Amino acid sequence: MSTFGARILASAGQGTLDPSFSLLAPGASANAGRTDALFIALLVLCGGMAIVIATLIVVFSFRYRRHAVVDRGNQASGESAGEIRLEIAWTVTPLLIFLGIFAWSTWDYIRTTRTPADALPVYVVAKQWMWKLQQRTGRREINELHVPLGQPVRLVMTSQDVIHSFFVPAFRLKQDVVPGRYTTLSFTATRLGEFHLFCAEYCGSEHSMMLGRVVVMMPADFSRWLAAGPNEPGLAERGFALYRSRGCSGCHEPGSTVHAPSLAGLIGRTVHLQDGRSLVADENYVRDSVLLPLKDVVAGFDPVMPSFAGQLDEEEIAAIVAYIRSTSDASEGRR
Amino acid sequence: MSYLDDGYTLRSWLTTHDHKRIAILYAIAITGFFFIGGAAATLIRLELATPAGDLVSHDTYNKLFTAHGVIMVWLFLIPSIPSVMGNFVLPLMIGARDLAFPRLNLLSWYLYMGGGILTLAALFLGGVDTGWTFYTPYSTMFSNSYVLLTLTGVFIVGFSSILTGLNFIVTVHTLRVPGMGWFQLPLFVWAIYATSAILVLATPVLAITLLLVAAERLFQIGVFDPAYGGDPLLFQHMFWFYSHPAVYIMVLPAMGLVSEIVPCFARKRIFGYRFMAYAILGIASIGFLVWGHHMFVSGQSMTASLVFSLLSFVVAVPSAIKVFNWTATLYKGSIRFDAPMLYALGFVGLFTIGGLTGLILAALAVDVHLTDTYFVVSHFHYIMVGGSVMAYFGGLHFWWPKVTGRLYSGVWARIAAVIMFIGFNLTFFPQYVLGYQGMPRRYHAYPPEFQVLNILSSAGASVLAIGYLLPLVYFAVSLWRGERAGANPWGATGLEWQTASPPPTHNFDTEPAAPKTVYGYDAEADARLAARGAPASTERAEA
Amino acid sequence: MTARTAPLADAARTPRHAETALRMETAELGMWVFIATEILFFGGLFFAYLYGRTHWPEGFAAAGRRTDVVLGTLNTAVLLTSSFAVALAVAAAEHDRRRWVARLLWLTAALGVVFLVIKGTEYRHEWSEHLFPGPGFALAATAGAELFFVLYFLTTGLHALHLTIGIVLMGAFAAGTEHASGWAHPPRLQVAALYWHFVDVVWIFLYPLLYLIVRHS
């Protein structure tokens, strides 16, 4: 990782929140280069097409203007075979080009959704009109996200009220943050510095004031920053404490009189449900099980789990999710 | 006696069954709504000239862009070409005396006015601040504005759309003059027919969606708000299922208009008539399958995003065909540059740019960056304003002599067209750059590095405004002092030109015969006329 | 459908006939297009149902078990019989059996009213069992159950509204036929019958979705 970081550092300068005009700041994430390349290719293609059409229109308009003395002969009265061939040509050609663009952009897109297993998790709660973030160690931030250079980061996000959207133009990425469920966004920062964070889904009065910044630091500096924060238990630790204090362990630990599924290594495991369906457990599954326990009951268990809706806030749920995830990391780990 | 002289009282206008009078009623109302929506846009661009939100408050700004969207989409664009030009010209084009259900037509207008007035009332009482897209749960549980009143207004206007669409479909099927088969129809009729199919099939889904939003807001029941057990993405699916086909409601009639104007002023039949007709049907049908491209980052599944992206690329193909065909129509034509032609050519250029940027947005990896930024704002304004509004003006200029019996100043009309084209590009091209730089949409205030492009855009908007105001002047002058128009001042084909300008109430004194070929122009013959120095039989002296 | 000289065999006899025949063809097409809009109107709700069922299958199952399948089935039978009655009425009209036309149309309307009464009874039961969406909803703990009932009341409510319009229509035609008014003639009755059949078909889709499918799991 450090050689990777050193390579990147050598290439480009730092990002800053510079108020002066520039045409386009260079990208700061691993995927930004590919997005920019695709965009430029599309600009060239589409711009080229637009220029061709505009030129043809202008040239024809001039050459065939009413008073121009020029050959207009051989005008077929109906649709000739030549015309039909031309039509088919300019139907099939664009279609093939468009399918090519689709393939390229889909490939790029799929790459951005793949997250390495060792990605640094950060839990994000959006609310009107601010961002609340929490690192795995428990260190909290408001409207700021510190991340280390060259390290994959995975944001697990939810909203407390309306739909927001986590947008970092320098990373060329955004993801809607939806109430009632988790959405995720993964990236690897490749430039040091500070970058704008915007809310990109209209959310009420101060939507345009819901600003923040992403601060990318050298990994060593990041570790120091993380350690320097107020001494709080890590997210997974808090989750474990809640797991005990709210009574989850009373049913879910082996040896309990109530027959409840074990939660160790749950995230990433395939779960078989009562109605015959099966799914791969993720953060949303854990969250739904806590808040809406009758939604996806595991096969072979009674639907007796009480709901914790209204008793846990988003940060507490995030802590419990982090705890359960940590039991996976402790065992095999891979998704 | 023309339809204009058939009764001078207000009552004769407000109780008319004549499709031509109803078209005029729509035209007046639509013009009013256009300028109200335009006033909102003016305030928005004034505010955005500086980075700070210093002209109006946050809430006022949010209400301004909502009003602009609601008014322009539902009260201006969707009814504009169908209810004004479709109403006036469609029966004439097929040789009919009126639409299939004339009284239903009048009802449509009253529903439109009723819904429009309710929407305006919401505006004047204090406005609504949800954005024209009414995303939940903000609109159902959090907004403290006149959401229900606005929803009711839009709901009622929706029924106006449905009834108009129904009327047009039945008219095209049953009232064509004998001998006029489907492939002898002007492309404008094809376009209105396809638009009517969308109106009739998509609008009911909007109605149901708005009903559910109202239910959740009124009764606090969980349909779209997760806090009550609902799902915000359900709203987005239902809303966009209507609102994507809605954009084809806005653009297909414009395309139909261009297909009437370009052959007339190039004196040449449209290139590839059948392909043009099939392209219209293709756009209308595939357009129902792409709504999820508004939701790529919403949290919908990756599979859904892939499918919608693929289909969005496919739907671009018929539009591309149409652009190529319009361009090919000019080849070996005998081209005149009257105002309608300038508007039509402006449409082709601007729609091409807007459509190509749509292609960029369909690319998933790029859309993740560009969605919800000014890139999208610019994309849809290129198509709806650079496209549909320019085509609407083109239609106004093309059929003005037929509708009013008067000619307008050709010189001023062309000046206005050029000013509009230039002003439009100055306003909206910078917004593409702003979008890629990352300026989100619906932002009242913004970081200072975006100011330069915003100032350019606002400056361009002032030029565009002049372009829109000029026609008010020379059209008014034409009504008072314009030269009287003959039946066919442009020498156009099409049955609407076979009757007087303005037409009598019953449209045709004797039932017209269906022309053997549609767009029976001859560019070579016209050029020979020009070469001899003889004006075309329909050429008139320039003002 | 082709242009004006479509196969209307004796329409060409007089211009007046042609006009009337054309107006009928127009009216019938108009009704079909109107039905298409209604299909999409209800279709939006069907879409929401499909979405809910996919995302909250257990919630929908739990809620679906609380609808009254006996009354629902009874209502289905009532509506099917009414469609039969109106079809018979149209046939009778073609044979000019005016008395039977009136009787059958009154029967149709009456059956429609019976449907509404039974539906009203169901609603009363559901009210007392706290199954109306909103605060105090009985199944609030089960995700998706409230959405099911929102859709249940909206679809059956809208259906009942359309049915009521149909009842008034049938009653008007019955009265018009009895008094031998000119306007209640067979081709017009055919268009009105089309509307009634459509209302019936909507119910035939609603019945399994609201009463049957959710019960088997």
- Give the chains touching B; criterion: ≥3 Cβ pairs < 8 Å: A, C
Backbone angles phi, psi at B270, to 5 degrees: -65, 140
Chains that contact A by 3+ CB pairs under 8 Å? B, C
What are the sequence ranges of the domains in chain C?
A: 35-215
Tokens of B431: 């917004």
> Which residues, given as ranges, of chain B have pLDDT below 50?
538-543
**Nearest residue of B to residue A39, measured between CA atoms:** B366
Residue A333 above 60 pLDDT?
no
Beta bridge mates, A186: A154
What pLDDT score was predicted for residue B541?
A: 33
If DSSP codes are grouped into helix, strand and coil, which group holds residue B486? coil
Least-confidence region, from A5-9, A125-129, B426-430, C179-183: A5-9
Instruction: Say which residue, C122 or C181, is predicted with more confidence.
Output: C122
Which residue of A21, A39, A53 is in closest CB contact with B452?
A: A21
- The yes-or-no verdict on residue C23 having pLDDT over 80 is no
At residue C16, the pLDDT reads 47
Question: If residue B52 lies in a helix (H) or strand (E), which one and from where to where?
Answer: none
What's the one-letter identity of residue C95? Answer: H
| pLDDT value for A234 | 82
CA atoms B412, B417, B418, B424: torsion sign: positive
User: What CATH number does the domain containing B340 carry?
Assistant: 1.20.210.10
Q: Which long-range contacts (CB under 8 A, 24 or more apart) does B518-521 make?
A: B518/B183, B518/B184, B518/B185, B518/B186, B518/B269, B518/B273, B518/B493, B519/B186, B519/B263, B519/B268, B519/B269, B519/B270, B519/B273, B519/B493, B520/B269, B520/B493, B521/B263, B521/B264, B521/B266, B521/B267, B521/B268, B521/B269, B521/B493
Give the pLDDT score at B53: 86
Asked if residue B286 is part of any domain, the answer here is yes
Q: Count Cβ atoms below 10 Å from residue C142 Cβ, excluding itself.
A: 24
What 3-state class would DSSP assign to A263? coil
Between A77 and A46, where is the model more confident? A46
- Asked if B145 and B127 touch (Cβ cutoff 8 Å), the reply is yes
Q: Mean per-residue pLDDT for A292-305?
A: 85
B488: in domain:
yes
> pLDDT of B266-301, one tens digit each?
999 999 999 999 999 999 999 999 999 999 999 999
Cα C1 from Cα C7, distance rounded (Å) = 10
Number of domains in chain B: 1
Count of Cβ atoms closer than 10 Å to residue A184 Cβ:
18
- Residues B406 and B428: their CA atoms lie apart, in Å, by 34
State the complex-level ipTM.
0.92
CA distance C79 to C75: 6
CB A187 within 8 A of CB A29: yes
A329 or B475: which leads in pLDDT = B475
Mean pLDDT taken over chain B: 94
Return the pLDDT at B535: 61
Task: Specify the amino acid at residue B61.
Answer: Y
Poorest-pLDDT segment among B127-131, C15-19, C161-165: C15-19
* CATH level 3 topology of C35-215: Four Helix Bundle (Hemerythrin (Met), subunit A) (1.20.120)
Q: What is the pLDDT of residue A133?
A: 94
Q: Angle CA(C169)–CA(B198)–CA(B385) in degrees, nearest 5? A: 135
Comparing CA positions, the residue from A151, A144, A164 lying closest to residue A214 is A144
Which structural domain range is residue B156 located in?
Answer: 3-531
Q: Please say if the pLDDT value at position C184 is more than 90.
A: no
Residue B13 lies in a domain: yes
**DSSP conformation class of B74:** I
CB C141 to CB A274 under 8 A?
Answer: no
The partner residues of A140 in beta bridges, in order of sequence, read: A134
Distance from CA of A327 to the nearest CA of B (A): 26
DSSP string covering C50-86, please? HHHHHH-HHHHHHHHTTS-HHHHHHHHHHHHHHHHHH
CB atoms within 10 A of CB B344: 29
pLDDT tens, residue by residue, C49-84: 998 888 888 888 889 889 999 999 999 999 999 999
**Residues sharing a CB contact under 8 Å with residue A268, sequence separation 6 or more, in sequence order:** A280, A281, A282, A328, A334, A335
Token pair for residue B480? 């008072």
Nearest to B174 among C22, C37, C48 (CB): C22
Say if the Cβ atoms of C29 and B176 lie within 8 Å: no
Please check whether residue B543 lies inside any domain of the structure: no
Three-state SS at A272 = strand
Alpha helices in chain C (DSSP H): 15-55, 57-64, 69-94, 98-128, 145-178, 186-207
Report the chain A residue with the minimal C-alpha distance to residue C217.
A275
Residue A275 to residue C217, Cβ atoms within 8 A: yes
What percentage of chain C reaches a pLDDT higher than 90?
55
Q: Is the pLDDT of residue A8 over 50?
A: no
Report yes or no: B526 at the A interface, CB cutoff 8 Å: yes
- Band (pLDDT 50/70/90 cuts) for residue C107 is very high
Please name every residue paired with B287 in a beta bridge, in sequence order, or none if there are none. none
- In chain A, the domains with their CATH numbers are 32-60+82-113 (no CATH), 120-228 (2.60.40.420), 235-330 (1.10.760.10)
Pick the residue from chain B with its C-alpha nearest to A99.
B313
Q: Calculate ∠ Cα B449-B450-B456, nearest 5°.
A: 125
For residue C42, is pLDDT > 90? Answer: yes
Percent helix, strand and coil across chain B, each rounded to 5?
70, 0, 25
| Residue C111 CB-half CA count within 13 A | 22
Is the CB of residue B447 less than 8 Å from the CB of residue A16? Answer: no
Question: What pLDDT does B121 receive?
Answer: 95
pLDDT score, position A325: 87
Helix, strand, or coil here: A127?
strand
Asked if residue B516 belongs to a domain, the reply is: yes
Token digits of residue C88: 């018979």
Question: Burial letters for B290-329: b for 16+ Cβ neighbours within 10 Å, e otherwise?
Answer: bbbbbbbbbbbeeeebbebbbbbbbbbbbbbbbbbbbbbb
Interface test with B, best of C26, C40, C152 (most B CBs within 10 A): C40
Q: Is residue B540 part of a domain?
A: no
